[in-house]
Structure 1
Amino acid sequence: MVIQAIRTVLFYALFIGQTAIIAIILGTIALITGRTRASWAIAVYWCSSTLRLLRWLTGVKTVVTGAENIPAGGCIIAAKHQSDWDVFAMFPYAGRPAYIIKKELMNIPFFGWAARSLDCIEVDRKKGAKAIPAMMAQAHAAIARGCRIVIFPEGTRRAALADPDYRQGVVRLYLELKVPVVPVAVNSGLFWGRNSLVIWPGTAEARFLPAIEAGLTADVFLERLKKAIESGSNELALKAEAKGLSRPISAELRSKFDALKSNGSNTL
C-alpha cells in the first residue's frame, strides 16, 4: 500500500501541474480567440495524457466500449459518475461534448474561461430548480452548435455500488431537448474513488449502452435510464471483482458484492 500511495502522489503532482499549465494556455486562447482547433487539440491531449499517466504511475488501465451506440447528431450522454476518470475516458468518444459542470468550476480563472470555450454548460446548484431555465438555454444553444450534452444524472461522484440517487436535471433535459439519451455504465470508482487517498491498479471500464429514444414520459424514461446505468455498472463491477481487486474491500462493499451474486442479478 505504501508503494501505491507514493505512486498516487506522483500522479497527482504531475496531473495537477499539467492541468494548471493547460488551463492557463487554453484560458488565454479563449480570451483572445474563443474556441479554435488548437484549443480542441490541447483538450484532447490533456485527456489522453492524463489516462497515460494513470496507467504508467498507478496501474489504472482504460477500456471504453459501445461507442457505436452513440447516434449521429444531437443527443444526451448520461453517465454514472464514480471518478474523475469518467470525464477523461469519455471525452474522445463524445464528438463535440458539452459537459454540464457546477458554476464554481466556471468561476476559476483560466480554467473557467477554457471550459466555456470548450462548450461546457454551467449550472448553479445553489439555486436548485431556479437554475434549470439558464441551463436549458445553454443546452439548446449547445445542441444547435452540434454538441452532445454530457451529464452525470446523480450530480456528483458516487462510490462504487452505492445506492443510486438520480436528480431531475436529466429528465428535464430529455423532455426539453427531445433527443435520444445514451446511458453510460462505469466501474471506475473501484480504482480511483471519490475520497480515496490511494489510486489502485486495475482496469477501469466505461460502456456506452443502447440509446433511449426520445418521446417517452418522464417516469418511463427515468426508470429505463436507471435500470440501464445501474445494471451495466454493476455488471462491470462484478467483472472487475471476479478478476481480483488489489484495493482493500470494506465490509460494506463486500456485502454489496455478495448481494449481487446471491441474487443472480446485476441490480441492487
Structure 2
Amino acid sequence: MLLLRSLLFHALFYLVTLGLMILFSPVLILPRRWGWPVVPFWARTCLALLRWIVGLKVEVRGLENIPEGGYIVAAKHQSAWETFALLPLFASPTYVLKRELRYIPLFGWYTAKYRQIPVDRGKRSVALARMTEKAGEAVAEGRQILIFPEGTRRPAGAEPRYKHGVAHLYRSLECPVLPIALNSGVYWPRRGWTLYPGTVLVEILPPIQPGLELHACYEHLVSAVEGASDELLREAARRDPDSPVLALVEERWRARGRVFPRA
C-alpha cells in the first residue's frame, strides 16, 4: 500500500507540474513580478499532495533567522524534496542549477523567465565566474540564492562532501549565508520510489554574517549544517523508530566509525 501511494504521488507530481506549467504559461509573457506567485503555488500544491497521499508533513523551525534582502541560502541536500519545498520560505529565490535543465521544454522556459542561475559543470573555472556574476546581480536586487553546497544529493547519514563554491560566493558577494539543516532523506530517500509518512524537519540556522575568511566560512557552514542535520536525524529516530531508512542511516554512521542512537 505504501508503494502504491508513493507511485500515485509521483504520477500526480509530474502531471500537476506539467498541467500547471501549461495552465499558467501566459505568465511567461508578463512581467516577472506578476507571474512569480505561480512558483510558490506549485510548491505548496506538491507539499499538499505529499500530505494527503503519503502522509508526509513538514515542520520548519528558525523562521526568525531569515534575514531581509539578498543573501545565500545553503541547504543540506538529501532528497528531491528540498528542490521545491524550500521555495515558499523566501520572497524572491533563485536556484543555482545545472545548465541542462534550461533545455527542457516549458520547465526550462520558466527557469529562464524567473532568472534561475544555470551552471555548466564541465567548465569549472568559467562556471564559477559566471555563477558569481549572476549571483551578484541577484543579491543586488534583494534576491535569495538557493544552493546545495554538496552539489548533489547525499543519502541521510552518509559522509558529507561539501564543495567550496558557497564560501567563494560568500567572499565575493560579501553577503550573509543562511544555513539550513533537514532530515528529508529519512522520508524521501535518494534512491527508490517509496516515500514514507512522517514529518520532515527543517531547521533554519542563524546566518553567517559577512567578514569571515573563506576557510572559516566553509568550516562554520559544514559544522552548523551537519551538526543540526544529525540532531534532526536523531529526532526522526525518536519519532519514527520503525522507519526502514533509519536502519540504513545506522549502517552509514557505523561505516564512519560513529554510533547512531535509536532512543
In the alignment, which residue of structure 2 is the partner of 1:33? 30
Q: Given residue 64 of structure 2, which amino acid in structure 1 is its aligned partner? A: E
1:145 aligned residue (141, 148, 157): 141
Q: Given residue 35 of structure 1, which amino acid in structure 2 is its aligned partner? A: R
How much does 1:25 deviate? 4.2
Structure 2-normalised TM-score? 0.92
Per-residue deviation, residues 89-108 of structure 1 (Å, max 9, x unmatched): 22111211111111111121
1:93 aligned residue (86, 89, 96): 89
**Structure 2 unmatched runs, 5+:** none
In the alignment, which residue of structure 1 is the partner of 2:172? 176
The answer to whether the 8 A contact 1:64-1:89 is kept is no
Matched, 1:22 2:29: no
The answer to whether the 8 A contact 2:186-2:246 is kept is no
Matched, 1:213 2:209: yes
The answer to whether the 8 A contact 2:51-2:57 is kept is yes
In the alignment, which residue of structure 1 is the partner of 2:224? 228
How much does 1:132 deviate? 0.9
Per-residue deviation, residues 205-254 of structure 1 (Å, max 9, x unmatched): 11110111111111111000000000010000100011124532475522
**Structure 1 unmatched runs, 5+:** 263-268
Q: Given residue 172 of structure 2, which amino acid in structure 1 is its aligned partner? A: E
Give 3-state SS (helix, strand or coil) of 2:60's partner. strand
Q: 1:73-222, aligned counterparts within 5 Å?
A: 73-222=69-218
Measure, in 1, the Cα distance between the counterparts of 2:26 and 2:122.
29
Measure, in 2, the Cα distance between the counterparts of 1:98 and 1:232.
24
How much does 1:257 deviate? 5.5
Give 3-state SS (helix, strand or coil) of 2:162's partner. coil
Give 3-state SS (helix, strand or coil) of 2:86's partner. helix
Per-residue deviation, residues 83-125 of structure 1 (Å, max 9, x unmatched): 2211332211121111111111112121111112223111111
Measure, in 1, the Cα distance between the counterparts of 2:98 and 2:24.
19
The answer to whether the 8 A contact 1:27-1:113 is kept is no
Measure, in 1, the Cα distance between the counterparts of 2:247 and 2:44.
35
In the alignment, which residue of structure 1 is the partner of 2:63? 67
How much does 1:76 deviate? 0.7
In the alignment, which residue of structure 2 is the partner of 1:8? 6
Measure, in 2, the Cα distance between the counterparts of 1:227 and 1:86.
20
Measure, in 2, the Cα distance between the counterparts of 1:97 and 1:104.
20
How much does 1:29 deviate? 2.6
Structure 1-normalised TM-score? 0.90
Measure, in 2, the Cα distance between the counterparts of 1:70 and 1:204.
19
Measure, in 2, the Cα distance between the counterparts of 1:132 and 1:26.
33
Measure, in 2, the Cα distance between the counterparts of 1:56 and 1:7.
10
Q: Given residue 41 of structure 2, which amino acid in structure 1 is its aligned partner? A: Y
Aligned length: 258
Give 3-state SS (helix, strand or coil) of 2:145's partner. strand
The answer to whether the 8 A contact 1:26-1:110 is kept is no
Measure, in 2, the Cα distance between the counterparts of 1:25 and 1:176.
39
Give 3-state SS (helix, strand or coil) of 1:126's partner. coil
The answer to whether the 8 A contact 2:157-2:230 is kept is yes
State percent identity of aligned pairs.
40
